[in-house]
Structures are given as C-alpha cells and as structure tokens.
Amino acid sequence: MAEATDLDTLLQLLPACRRCRSHKRRCDTQLPVCANCSKVGADCVFFDHVSKELLPRTYIASLVDHLRSLEAARESSTGQISDSASNETLEAEGQHFFGVGDALRYLGPRAPLVAQVDAVLPKAQPRIKEPCLPLEIPSSSFASEDTHRFLVGKYFDTLQELYPILDPTLPYLEDPSFSRADLDPSECFNLYMVYSIACHCLPGNDCQLVLLSDTFYKEALTYADQVTAELTVEALQAVVLLALRSLYDAQNGSLGQQVAFAHRMEVELSTREVDEHSLLLERLRLAIFCVGTQVGTALDRPSGLIDPELTGPMGSMRDAEKLSVLHKLQSRFRNGQSLDESDMIILDEAHATQRSPLLAAAWSETRLIVNPNAESASQLLTCYDREDMILTVFTSHWVYKAATILLSGGLTRKALDGHVLAVTILGRCALKWPNARAIQEMLNLLFKSKTSPDAMG
C-alpha cells in the first residue's frame, strides 16, 4: 500500500503539459490526458527534464498500468489473492483484473472484460520496442545527417515497394551529405514529405516522432504552391505524397480531395503521351488507385477510379502491383461483382507471395470482405498485432468490423480472444487518432450487451 501511495505522490508531481503552459492555464496533470487537452482532443505532452524530450501522458499512463499489473501478479504469487479468484474478474480500488493462468492481468478502470465470463485468455506476448531516434525539433531548416539516414531509410524500407512515388537513387535522398542549399522547390518539398511520412512508419503506431512529423510537414507546405503551380509530373508526385501522408494523419489534409485531384492530374498528364514519364505515371496511377480504394472501402462508397489492368502470375509481380490487385478485388466485390474461381486463386497466390506487413494487412482485409467469417476476422486482428505492423487511419474501421463479426457468433473462445485483441489495437490507434477511442467505446458497449444477464440467459 505504501508503494501505491508513493506512486500516486509521484504522479502528482508531473509537470504541466505543453498546451496548458502555452495557454497559461492550470493543468490538472491527469492521466492519460489532462482535462484541458481532453476537451479539444489535443495531444497531451509535457517536457521531461531528465530525458530532455517531449513525452505523451499516454506513455506515462501505460507505465503506470504496467507497474500495477506487476504488483497484482506479485500479490498473486505470494498468496495474497486466493486461487479461487484466479479465473474471475476482480475489482480493487476501482481497478479491474482478469485471471490469466496463475496470474492476474490488469485491464484498467474502463476494462471491457468487467463482466465475468468462463474463459481463460492467452497471455499477451511482450512487444519489443524498435530503436528510434530521440524526439527532436530540428533547429535548422534540414535534419541532421543521422536523422536523414534514419528517416529516408525508414520511408523507403516501409513504403517504396508498395507506393513507388519517388526514385530512391536521387542524390538528395541517397546522400545525406548532399548540398541541400542547391535543391529546387520540388526537391525540398519531396525531402520534407519523406521525413514527415517516415515519422509515422514506426511499428505499433508508436507516436514518438509525431511532433517531428508535423514540423517537417509544415516546412513542406511552404513549397507546395510553387510545386503545384503547373501541371507537371513533379506536381503529381507532390499531391500523391500528400495523399499518402493523409493515410497516417487525416486531420492535416482531405484525403478524398487529394486522391480526386491526383486522379484528374494523372489523366491529363497521360493524354500528353510523354514517353520519358510513362513508367513513372504508371507507378503513380497504381499508388492513386490503392490509396483511393482504401478511402472508398472505409466509407463504403465507389472510389471513382478505373481498375488497373494487371496480368500475369502474382509471383512475378512487384509489391505495388500485388497491392493493386488486392484493392481491385475489394473494389469489384463492393460493387456487387461476384468473384470467380480465378479470383480466389489470385487471392491465395497473393497470400503465398506477401512479404511486406502492409501487403499482409491488405490481403487480410480483402479476405475479410470476400469471406466475412470468424476465421477471416481473427486472422485480420492477428495480422494487425504483428510486431512490424504499420497502422493507418483506416485500421480502426477494419478492427471494429472484424470484432463485430466475431461477437455476432456468440461468446466463443475465439470471440473473447479477438475482443481483447481488438480493444488493444484500438488503444494503439487512439495514440494518434482520437476517433479510435470512440470506436473502442462502441465495441465495449457491444461486448457488454453480449455479456448482459438477459443476453446470456
């Protein structure tokens, strides 16, 4: 009990958040978000004088949850909690625990599993945090050489095979010591956008570099008008980069409008028949189609884009073409076209040849659309839980869809496991996208309705 008191005392000493300080308001320092930031849906971060970096309060809240779960497990192992309670949901000082094997899992004060159910949930595997650059706001107009290498490498390793928008061999991208003072507006825009998008490419929806991403994005926008002043391939690349970034930060751009604008530009440029740009235009066309189809699927509306004509076995296709084929299958199925045996063979081939986590997610999403059953839903949630998975603004939509399919079949072991996994993934989504928290609450309400005495009686 003394340790809990010490922890509460330490939490009261947390500094005020950056937003409250800048607005000269009293900060209540509550976790995971202070009251002022919660009202406006702002990111609640404070400056840690020990690590010399900005930290989100959600990170501190996760540490507190972990400490309390360790304390609960220790009390269980020393006999302070009886064996008869090991498979029940317990409430202690407003905190909920659920029996897992010979220990208790801490689920938080708003746990979705507060209702007692006859199930033993699997132990969650610890997530290994990927090494990352310390959060820094660059003091100069460009990133340091180390930051350049990390961000450019992260962008091309994660996204280039699926969205080949830029040439990675360009000197200003390949060489961190390249004289950046000589860059033209288009090159400056591209470089800042690569930096900004890469900050969102940390697995598990890690938000360490979100503020840094916003800084680079604002710098990129200073060149946007110059780059898009005329209808050129460089202007099209810029718009597609903006749309790609909106997959990870929809609040700073209208993704639907960006896709529509890029599509109109691509159609106009294609009529000019410029041979030297034909291959690049083909790659950009695939990127526009894939991003646009994601928007259409999430909003359940036609994308307005023409399906690409791709032939040949999946094994011989590039990842960008495989992704386009998967989104083409999604588009056809949503438009009421039935998939034949050859389409299902293509879907199986796509699964056999996938390497990228994002390509694996697209395959699982396509499978859920075509076969909306418990097996497909469970497989999609497991895919999102991969250590190397990069989440997008549409992940919460798919998670809710998969979880509701699982719960519709009753409170089976697979449904209970899937619900816990879905709530966990939505929690990661909420680190960047506040609307995921509302979806999480909706899912919790659905779960409670399934576990109510009337529903179970």
Cα 449 to Cα 315: distance, rounded to the nearest angstrom: 45
Kindly report the CATH number assigned to the domain that includes residue 7. 4.10.240.10
pLDDT (0 to 100) of residue 5: 43
Q: Total domain count for the chain?
A: 5
Q: How far apart are CA 147 and CA 61, in angstroms?
A: 28
> Do 290 and 420 fall within a single domain?
no
* CA distance to 35, 224, 386, 432, 457, per residue, from 218 (Å): 27, 10, 31, 18, 56
Q: Is residue 119 situated within a structural domain?
A: no
Q: How far apart are CA 395 and CA 400, in angstroms?
A: 9
Q: Identify whether 236 is part of a domain.
A: yes
In a domain, 117, yes or no: no
Q: Vertex 236, ends 232 and 240: CA angle to 5°?
A: 170
Closest CA to 99 of 90, 108, 91: 90
pTM: 0.69
* Domain presence at residue 126: no
10-residue mean pLDDT profile of the chain (457 residues): values are 51 79 84 83 77 74 73 60 40 40 42 38 44 50 80 94 93 82 90 95 86 91 93 94 92 82 90 72 92 86 76 74 88 75 66 75 90 92 92 94 91 90 92 89 88 61
Which helix (H) or strand (E) segment holds residue 90: the answer is: strand 89-92
Asked if the structure places residue 139 within a domain, the reply is: no
Q: Are 384 and 355 contained in the same domain?
A: no
- Single out the residue in 299, 317, 338 at which a domain terminates: 299
Its domain, for residue 213, covers: 145-299
Clarify whether residues 331 and 424 are in a common domain: no
209: in domain: yes
Q: 248 and 394, same structural domain?
A: no
CB 334 within 8 A of CB 295: no
Q: Are residues 284 and 196 in the same domain?
A: yes
Same domain, 150 and 266: yes
Residue closest to 296 by CA, chosen among 263, 318, 341 = 263
For residue 353, what are the contacts with CB-CB under 8 A and spacing of at least 6? 314, 315, 317, 322
Q: Are residues 186 and 274 in the same domain?
A: yes
Q: Note whether 259 and 265 are within 8 A (CB).
A: no
Give the rounded distance of the alpha carbon of 192 from its chain centre.
21
| Residue 405 lies inside a defined structural domain of this protein | yes
Supply the pLDDT for residue 185.
Answer: 92
In a domain? residue 125: no
Closest among 213, 204, 223 to 252, alpha carbons compared: 213
Please indicate, yes or no, whether residues 237 and 311 belong to a single structural domain of this protein.
Answer: no
In this structure, the answer to whether residues 204 and 88 fall within a common structural domain is no
CB distance 320 to 279 below 8 Å? no
* Tokens encoding 402: 């998969």
State residue 10's pLDDT score: 62
Last residue of a domain, one of 275, 299, 323: 299
Please give the pLDDT value at position 94.
Answer: 40
DSSP reduced 3-state for 340: coil
pLDDT of the residue at 33: 86
Do residues 274 and 312 both lie within one domain? no
What's residue 51's pLDDT?
59
Whether residues 175 and 43 share a domain: the answer is: no
Shared domain for 183 and 263, answered yes or no, is yes
